[in-house]
Structure 1
Amino acid sequence: MIKIIVFAIISVLSLNLYAQKNVTGYVFEDSNQNGKKDRREKGISEVAVTNGREVVQTNTEGKYELPIGEDNIISVIKPSGYKVGKNEDNLPQFFYIHKPKGSPNLKFNGVEATGKLPKSVDFPLISSEEKEDFTALIFGDPQPYTQQEIDYFAKGVVAEVEGIENVPFGLSLGDLVGNDLDLFNPYIKAVKKVGIPWYNLLGNHDINFDVENDILSDETYEAHFGPANYAFNYGKVHFLILDDVLYPDPRDGKGYWGGFREDQFEFIENNLKQVPKDHLIVIAMHIPLSEPDGVDTFRDKDRDRLFQLLKEFPNTLSLSAHTHIQRQDFFGKEEGWQQDKPHHHYNVGTTSGDWYSGKLDENNIPVSTMRDGTPKGYAFINFDGNEYSIDYKVAGKPAAYQMEVFSPKVVAKGRSTRAGIYVNFFMGTEGDEVLYRFDDGDWNEMQYLEEYDPSYVEMVYEWDLTEELMHGRRSSNPIKTEHLWRGDIPTKLETGEHTIEIKATDMFGKTHAARSSYRLAEPVE
């Protein structure tokens, strides 16, 4: 009898121990949209749920079960045809944070103690018609360091898209703020005014610097936005949002490095197993996969491993910000990509531009053109099934403004000149066709080159040549741009004004136009 009682006690303790190590719940259709699972509301089968490492699918009743520790965020991977609820700040609510003891004591507050795990952690989904052709709005690096810069961001960018229609959601690609994590809430309030569900990811200026382990560097971020690694589906597109900031840098314990932890790779691999191979995979991160100028900004073995996990998916796109320039990168087999069709990585121009520098415009907002001559702005990614195209929108300018043209104002008639016409095609990349002509003449190809954009050079050095201080802050020094073209100036025309027309075709087959002019005058003897 005693042995039976002891065995029974051990069995009960084992069951309790097992229960504490697992989380269960339902994914259900929230018909009345009250956020709670009512008796008549049915579960949804074959929906992926994750603890940040493992990924499982719900059964026929909509139930899931996952391992859980003392620091996990359980999140549902939204399937196509459904939407998740959002809070009063338009932040999607697709997760449950389980930190019984809360975050460690840090300079910026993290998650409060969540206490005992609920008996059932349920996720409501709302049935929603989702078209396979849709557009997402993308912000790179708002990165305000002060409340004044929050105001610049709100007035110079957010106000322009406030109340936007026919865009189901937006995404910010990290550096939501500039090291002061108390600015998370003002940032959230600013973006709320766009009026659509808004997703976020973590950047190197959004982390807790007073930690010794990378896995704790996102505690304050989690308290405001939820998991730093998550996924969702819309139409035939699978979005995979990843924290690729390793802090402290595993090489020397100082600074940060681009890459992923082992638990992140497990999440990526387990997640991709649930995604149909013909869907478009969009991976959003902060630090780009590319390494401009040969600087070691991303761990090579992590990029190779990511490419290995993507080798069975013929339709892919990756996004980043971080650099405060704009560029298109294409990875082929020489760079570790394992498919014949190169992988496109779009490093998006930022909403803060060149860190809110430059002269003030008519609204007292810094012009903030980036070092490669790309004006500050944001992107629209247009999806059609598993295909996509991208539009870059310069803040404060018409949508048709896709190029900056630099040309001399006056040139000596009949004399050869080394002066040229330069076109900075903001979404351009080597291989794009850029043509120019004069006075309705024949079209000719412009020459692609990697050089400083003279328009930006002129803008920067105005600060050094002025004899009176200007309002605003001097822009950063120029760097060579990867979307610049040059053409010669004909001088054997009649004296007077001559028109310049530019026609550029981007990688998606869209044609863009711009105009300028120059004047020929008789040489001064």
Structure 2
Amino acid sequence: MSKFYMRLLSVCLAALVLAACSSSEGGGDDGPTAGQIPDKAGMTVKGIVKDSAGNGIAGVVVSDGLEVTATDERGIYYLASDLARRNFVFVSVPADCEIPATQGCPRFYRKIDRKQAVNRADFTLTRRKTPSDRHSLIVMADIQLAADNTSVDSYLGHVVPDVLKTVQGLPTEVYGVSLGDLVWNDMSLFPKYRQGLETLGFTTFSLPGNHDHDPAELTDSLALQSYERYFGPANYSVNIGKIHYLFLDNILFDHAPTAEEEYTIGLTDEICRWIEADLRYVPAGSTLVVSSHCPILCHTKNTAARNHRNFQRFLDAISPYKVHAFGGHKHYHDIYRYDDGRKVMHCIARTPGDLFINGDVNCDGTPRGYAVVEVDGERLSWYYKPAGGKRDMQMRLYAPGRTNSACVYANVWGYDTAWSAVEWIPASGGQAVAMERTQRTDPYYEEVLATGVRGGMPTNTWHMFRGDPGSERGGMVRVTDSFGHTYESSVSW
């Protein structure tokens, strides 16, 4: 046989082997492979979601940020996306799969190519070996890295090591939630923020704040381009254990001249439509954890409705669920139980890298830090961890001379109405007396501002308590949180 025919035979055999391998991918001769998902009229995005063994995964929710669908029994999906307006296609990772991530950032999305009439976007997910019903969250807010101060060094050298130390004591897998204002109007610092996430070593879900919108741009979509380049979609969902997590961009930046003024707070009609479509795949009665930069639920419904666009539509969408909502932005800490306790709003105090703004304390006297949330099934427990402080540092006491009054004050920053009474116990060993909940500014924060540190105006806090010590010259404050942990702190004068 001539060399020509030998070469021809080899090519034919190679083609037959390639065809056989292609037909077996996806688990069967008629399984989908590259090039084998037919087009459908009106459908501009298509793909398959597979596990690491190449088998299609049914029922995975896929979205372009507006249209939402689920994969069929073979793992195939189609979306009628408006490619001129959509930036990403992404999956809501199911609970039985691991969250794909690189360098501490989740990677569950594909960029849409507007040059293609029909986009093909496939996803490969890894099945979990064990359920993730028990897991923990580190929830941070308003890190605000800036180039003109010590924020980057403080974030990488103080906050990140403190979080790592906390995580070592947690018995479950850990995820991070970062509630926006990752940087302070300087998009070039996103890599420094990501450097901290990579050092932490666990997957962190980020979302944009007002200072993460590029102040050089005048529309919301353009202002988010830098953020999206590093972190992907600004609105997305995932499933971990028995919890459905929603991450929302509620900063409306259109026509704002800077990131510090004229933006509004709320959800666009488009985002609301996406939320409603996403939640159709979540059974009523389930537990949602909703994260946004600005708090959505707050102390009074009227305040929230007045200040948050599409508040009622959002409230209607989440009404069938038990909800924990996390927000930042305010530079204070507050826990509010809403809807007879079925919904809890967590306003997380700043986790600043920047010691120049507010120093080491927030506007309500809460020290800079982060929330530690432990999830067991659908039950959440939490506490606030001061960066550099001990886990049981949950209050700061003020003697009468420091407050220009005859009262002892206790700022109990993690307090909510499910806690016990806050009690004053005289040093002489007298009977414990319940302190009165009141509103006032925090003396320590006022002292910090007096040193010249730049910061916001002192906030009248909801978690301040006062008691009359009588003739005593010292004593102790004691309180037990809603999970049975008792905290004590002493003061004398």
TM-score, structure 1 normalization: 0.78
Alignment-derived partner of residue 363 in structure 1: none
Matches within 5 A, 1:406-445: 406-408=398-400, 418-429=405-416, 432=419, 433-439=421-427, 440-445=429-434
Match of 1:506 among 462, 468, 481: 481
- Distance in structure 2 (CA, Å) of the matches to 1:295 and 1:276: 29
State the distance in 2 between where 1:406 and 1:299 align: 34
Deviation per residue, 1:473-520 (Å, 9 max, x gap) = 3554422111100111221x6xxxx551211123444322212223xx
The 8 Å contact of residues 46 and 118 in structure 2, kept in 1 or not, is answered as: no
8 Å CA contact retained: 2:218, 2:255 = no
**Could you list the runs of 5+ residues in structure 1 that have no partner in the other structure?**
1-15, 32-40, 101-114, 333-339, 359-365, 412-416, 465-472, 519-525
What does 1:340-351 correspond to in 2, within 5 Å? 340-341=340-341, 343-351=343-351
Q: Given the alignment, which residue of 79, 84, 88 partners 2:99?
A: 84
Show the counterpart of 2:330: 323
Q: Name the residue aligned to 2:44.
A: 22
Q: Distance in 1 between matches of 2:218 and 2:352?
A: 30
**Contact kept? 1:291, 1:297, Cα under 8 Å:** no
Q: Contact 1:371 / 1:476 at 8 angstroms: preserved in 2?
A: yes
Deviation at 1:430, TM superposition (A): 5.4
* Matched AA of 2:465: W
Contact 2:265 2:309 in 1 (8 A): no
Q: 1:430–1:84: structure 2 CA closer, same or farther, 3 Å change rule?
A: closer
Q: 2:159 aligns to what?
A: 157
Alignment correspondent of 2:383: 391
Alpha-carbon separation, structure 1, partners of 2:219 and 2:173: 38
Q: Which amino acid aligns with 1:343?
A: K
Letter in 1 for 2:475: I
Trace 1:1-400 onto structure 2 (pairs within 5 A).
21-31=43-53, 41-68=54-81, 69-70=83-84, 71-87=86-102, 89-100=103-114, 115-116=115-116, 120-128=120-128, 129-146=130-147, 148-162=150-164, 164-165=167-168, 166-248=172-254, 255-289=262-296, 299-300=307-308, 302-313=310-321, 315-332=322-339, 340-341=340-341, 343-352=343-352, 356-357=355-356, 367-400=359-392
Change (3 A) 1:369 1:237: same
Letter in 2 for 1:25: G
Deviation, structure 1 residue 456: 2.6
Other structure's SS at 1:154 match:
helix
Range 399-408 or range 265-274, more displaced: 399-408
Contact 1:369 1:376 in 2 (8 A): yes
Distance 1:342 1:135 in 2: 21
The two structures, once aligned, show a CA RMSD in angstroms of 3.0
1:91·1:197 contact (CA, 8 Å) conserved in 2?
Answer: yes
Matched positions, count = 444
Indicate the SS of the match to 1:83.
coil
What is the identity percentage for the equivalent residue pairs of Structure 1 and Structure 2?
A: 27
Instruction: Say if 1:298 and 1:49 are closer, same or farther in 2 by CA, change over 3 A.
Output: farther
- Do the aligned partners of 1:258 and 1:297 also contact (CA within 8 Å) in 2? no
Give the direction of change, closer, same or farther, for the CA distance of 1:297–1:214 in structure 2 (3 Å limit): farther
Give the C-alpha shift of residue 215 in structure 1. Answer: 3.4
Amino acid at match of 1:207: H
1:343 Cα deviation from its structure 2 partner: 2.7
Q: For the residues of structure 2 that align with 1:292 and 1:502, how far apart are their CA atoms?
A: 26
Q: CA deviation at 1:85?
A: 2.3
The TM-score with structure 2 as length reference comes to: 0.83
Alpha-carbon separation, structure 2, partners of 1:207 and 1:158: 24
Distance 1:418 1:299 in 2: 35
Runs of 5+ consecutive residues of structure 2 not aligned to the other structure: 1-37
> Post-superposition shift, 1:341?
4.2
Q: Which amino acid aligns with 1:368?
A: D
CA distance in 2, matches of 1:52, 1:446: 49
Is residue 154–residue 191 contact of structure 1 (8 Å, CA) maintained in 2? Answer: no
SS of structure 2 residue aligned to 1:162: helix
Contact 1:277 1:312 in 2 (8 A): yes
Alignment CA distance shift 1:477-1:266 (3 Å): closer
How far apart are residue 224 of structure 1 and its match? 0.6
Deviation at 1:17, TM superposition (A): 9.4
1:460 is matched with which residue: 449, 452, 466? 449
Q: Is the 8 A contact 1:435 1:443 kept in 2?
A: yes
